[in-house]
Amino acid sequence: MNIQAVQVKNILSKTNLPVGDYAANPYIGCTHACKYCYASFMKRFTNHPEPWGEFLDVKFWPEIKNPAKYNGKSIFLSSVTDPYNQFEEKYQRTRALLTQLANSGAKITLQTKSDLILRDLDLLKKFKEVRVGFSINTLDEKFKNDMDCAVSIERRIDAMRELYNAKIKTTCFISPIFPGITDPIAIIQRVKDFCNLVWLENLNLRGDFKYKILNYIKQNYPALTNLYNEIYNHKSRIYWEDLGEQVREFAEQNNFDYARNQDNIARPFDAPLLIVNYFYHSEIIKKK
């Protein structure tokens, strides 16, 4: 693992993501090395020769002098890295940022695949509005291990439960959904008692990892080869339309709320579970 410290002028940057006014990425690169990671495009700008997942730049920035500037603003950690990659335990750059923003009035959303976030529970409680999302796209640990180097699914679920019990809003980010492999309804059944929001996102294949994923499916799930060919080479949306309808019916049967966009996620802690279908999110952002 190639690790180096880098000095940056700012840690917060404005974003058009639907979950924040600002994005914060305390690291460049990510040691989870997810085979499907869209953020691997960052290599075009970093000049790292190492494969994605084998380098990490640790950011250091001037302390935020006027955190009240972000009062009422939404801040997302993180858009192109995991703020709780394994080296956060040593470098504590995410904790440093949360410390600087504590009591600022900023609204914080964190997205991770790690239970290391439990270390910062004391800081999370200093924010009036905070939400923690865990990426869970399978209950099969073997498939998970084929796809990433993050902690187990069981550890993510246990961390979600602990945060929820501490009155921290939690999100189960079922993403990316692998057609024929990911079972969103089974995942929702598993987390529904300690989760406020479920966010569904389809697998988008682009860049150099499209070939890798399609080759993985061909070798490990040959019965799904035709399905993936229809979706990713012939641009069929039938699978996603059918899956969306299945989840909508499941939500209705269980008295969960269901939406096709993110506009309704600011809800009371004890509101019914909200399931958001965010398939083809890039088109939604463009339209917005």
- The DSSP bridge pattern shows strands 55-60 and 27-28 to be antiparallel
Cα distance between residue 115 and residue 152, in whole Å: 9
Residues of the chain with pLDDT under 70: 39-45, 261-265, 281-288
Quote the Cα angle for 114-145-281, to 5°: 65
SS3 42: helix
Cα distance between residue 158 and residue 128, in whole Å: 23
Query: Rounded to two decimals, what is the model's pTM?
Result: 0.92
pLDDT at 69: 94
pLDDT at 285: 37
Q: Which helix (H) or strand (E) holds 163?
A: helix 153-165
Q: What tens digit of pLDDT does each residue of 183-218 get?
A: 999 999 999 999 999 999 999 887 778 999 999 999
Three-state SS string over 133-155 comes to: EEECCCCCHHHHHHHCCCCCHHH
Structural domains in the chain, CATH included, are 15-23+65-287 (3.80.30.10)
Cα distance between residue 103 and residue 288, in whole Å: 31
What 8-state DSSP symbol labels residue 199? E
Radius of gyration of the chain (CA): 19
Cα distance between residue 92 and residue 83, in whole Å: 9
The answer to whether the beta carbons of residues 135 and 173 sit under 8 Å apart is yes
pLDDT at 284: 39
Residue of 63, 121, 116 lying closest to 88 (CA atoms): 116
Cα distance between residue 112 and residue 78, in whole Å: 8
- The DSSP bridge pattern shows strands 22-24 and 74-77 to be parallel
What Cα–Cα distance (Å) separates residue 52 from each residue in 178, 205, 239, 242, 244?
21, 16, 30, 34, 32
| Start-to-end Cα distance in the chain | 39
Cα distance between residue 136 and residue 43, in whole Å: 25
SS3 41: helix
